[in-house]
Structure 1
Amino acid sequence: MNSHTKVLVLGLGSIGQRHARLLSERSDVDVLLCDISEELRRQASGALVKPPSAVYASYAAALESHPDIVFICVPNHLHVPMALEAIRNGTDVLVEKPVSDSLEKARELVKAAEASSRFLQVGYMLRYDEGLITLKEIIDKGEIGNLVGGRAMIGTYVTLLNAKGSDRIDHPNSLVVDYTHELDFISWFFGKVEDVMAMQARMGDLELKPHPNIFQINLKFSSGALVQVHMDYIQFPQRRVFEVYGDRGTLCYDFMTGEIRHFTFQRAHEWTNKNVLPVTERWDDLFRKEHESVFTRRSDGLPPFVSGADGLQALEIAVQAIRVAR
């Protein structure tokens, strides 16, 4: 890696500001900021550990400065058009999840990145979660046998309470789009999806009530494994759990506490109490690990840890689930 990597953070909402702030901690990164909003540019600049190298209101002008990589943190429908501009500029890309708001555009982006040999990573930073990595290691060692199924659950009314805008209320299926994280890491564990079934509902006496606010997805994988995904904008405080079932044992991971339970035929239950940071600090740490992975893999000529194809696969599952639920 060069002594300094020029990173342009495009879009300075909450995710963009988090990327910018954490990137500014690094001595090997020059942070450039871009947003059409003067207020967001001011907020993001003020939150950095060190001043930005440059601040732009125009994306075209920002690209003329020839950044090494652009972090695309704009609204979903702008992900692909702006990522394609970066690729045509000869610039690598990290695009926040979901990779796009449409499969057609997502496929276009993946094809363009492959044709130009540009580095394209999708921002599924939960792949760097130590709990998920630990589960993957246990499974890869064969400690729970052959995978036969699983369950992922996310319940998060707090997402609506913390939202800066009304997009999640105004746009149908924001719940599924928000939590394609689950679809990505489940595919990382189980492989290729063969069939998708889904149901949706809008329930509860709640002030904030998107449509739908409950979504259930059943996935059948090529291996034959069956996995259920539950999402809701109802539970408070937030809960997030992932379970994996094998023919020789079971793993249960609680994202909120960092705790893993490992059940085997030999032992009724085994607790692994992980020493973890509080959730808010851990969230920053996941982004730091994502940044380190991006810079290291770019420098070493390795493919991204979460590729454009991975992002496309998660989006394909989400789109099919929404279609079936209708």
Structure 2
Amino acid sequence: MASRILNVGLIGFGLSGRYFHSPFLSTNPGFKIKTVVERSKNEAQEFDPNIGNARSVEELLSDESIDLVFICTPNDTHFPYAMDALENGKHVVIEKPFSATEEEARQLVALAEQKGLILTAYQNRRWDSDFLTIKKLIAEDKLGDIVEYECRYDRFRPVVPTESWKEKSVPVGGNLYNLGPHLIDQALVLFGEPLTVTAEIRSVRPNSEIDDYFDVRLGYADKLVIVKSSLMVYENFLRYNLHGTKGSFIKGGLDPQEETLRKNILPTEKPWGVEPENRWGKLYSEDFTGIIESEAGDYAPFYQNVYDAIVNGAGLAVKPAEIIRTTRVIDLAFQSSREKQVMTY
């Protein structure tokens, strides 16, 4: 049994609130989802009738029994909602993007430190099957020193009439803010801070209102790191290309957890996060050339770490300093693309 149960409030119950956070929070004995902010709907009660409704953020934050708040709302609200939550003494997890700018990120981190509160970003892709597999290969020195790393996260989403803010020219909108934080965070976890940032950010789809393509290049003294995404890639299987002094690793496919969660399957279902064999990558080297079975993905450790940080004083897995460096790279990427220059990190 958990030594303490944390009461959780979710601000928003869209894709992330419903299909990412709620399944893991509801199956971890350390958490109780007490309240969800839905201004007019009651979809949280369809997930669990014991969850309460709040019709405004203010109503949720005024509840002194809420310990931890997850912010799962449109991107431009992340910063003000997080500031309000921290001011009201709540621990906070923010969906990506953490904030619009590095300066906003620093303000949030400073306030959390001042208040003695836990603040982190939802970087669940650190616990993807493919990323765990790559970390293991690098740790085992199967590739030698990495000289080139490329990661793509592509989709095929032609522009269709929609009211979704994700396809509108809105503040803190577009694909770099949407998928960029995942890819950039993974690269920085593997290789640390770069020396330079160079980017091209543009719209490639007919009638697109947003940036739907990015190519961000992180320069290091001994390697080149490329993270790319396009919403106009019909065959989007390719994910990772790693080349090192001992070999190469090529891998496609996405971690299966999201598609599993969307089927209303809870993460207590075993086996969990196991990739189908057709998504396994291939290692090419003098020592061994062949298929590498993927590690099982599992987002549950993220939530357990947040619990342990709040209740037991453990260090955060996704640290504030790591969050700030990701926001810095995004800032520099936009500047690089706008000015057509290589930016010094």
Q: How would you bin the TM-score normalised by the shorter chain? A: 0.7 to 0.9
Q: 1:127: Cα distance to partner?
A: 0.5
Is contact 1:34-1:58 (8 Å) kept? Answer: no
**Which of 274, 284, 295 is residue 307 of structure 2 equivalent to?**
295
Q: 1:154 to 1:163 in 2, by over 3 A?
A: farther
What is the DSSP-based 3-state SS (H/G/I as helix, E as strand, rest coil) of the residue aligned with 2:198?
strand
Q: Deviation per CA, 1:272-299, whole angstroms, max 9, x where unpaired?
A: 13386xxxxx7xx53x343233223433
Q: 1:160: Cα distance to partner?
A: 6.8
In structure 2, how many angstroms separate the alpha carbons of the residues matched to 1:300 and 1:162?
48
**Which of 319, 322, 334 is residue 307 of structure 1 equivalent to?**
319
In structure 2, how many angstroms separate the alpha carbons of the residues matched to 1:162 and 1:47?
29
Q: 1:11: Cα distance to partner?
A: 1.6
Task: Report the TM-score when normalising by structure 2.
Answer: 0.80
Moved more, 79-88 or 27-36: 27-36
Once the two structures are superposed, the pairs formed by residues 158-169 of structure 1 within 5 Å of their partners are: 158=157, 165-169=164-168
Q: 1:4 to 1:272 in 2, by over 3 A?
A: same
Is contact 1:145-1:246 (8 Å) kept? Answer: yes
More helix by share: 1
Q: 1:142: Cα distance to partner?
A: 2.2
Partner amino acid, structure 2, of 1:316: R
Gapped regions of structure 2 (runs ≥ 5): 255-277, 339-345
Is contact 1:103-1:316 (8 Å) kept? Answer: yes
Counterpart residue number, 2:178:
178
Q: Deviation per CA, 1:217-267, whole angstroms, max 9, x where unpaired?
A: 22103x432112221011136445122222112223324254122222323
Gapped regions of structure 1 (runs ≥ 5): 277-281
Superposed structure 1 runs of 4+ greater than 4 Å apart: 158-164
In structure 2, how many angstroms separate the alpha carbons of the residues matched to 1:21 and 1:163?
28
Q: Deviation per CA, 1:37-75, whole angstroms, max 9, x where unpaired?
A: 211xx0122123x521x3212323322233221111122
Partner amino acid, structure 2, of 1:34: V
Aligned length in residues: 310
In structure 1, how many angstroms separate the alpha carbons of the residues matched to 2:90 and 2:212?
38
Counterpart residue number, 1:279:
none
Q: Share of identical aligned residues, percent? A: 21
Is contact 1:243-1:251 (8 Å) kept? Answer: yes
In structure 2, how many angstroms separate the alpha carbons of the residues matched to 1:62 and 1:21?
20
**Which of 226, 240, 243 is residue 228 of structure 1 equivalent to?**
226
Q: 1:128 to 1:298 in 2, by over 3 A?
A: farther
Once the two structures are superposed, the pairs formed by residues 259-274 of structure 1 within 5 Å of their partners are: 259-267=280-288, 269-274=289-294
Counterpart residue number, 1:248:
246
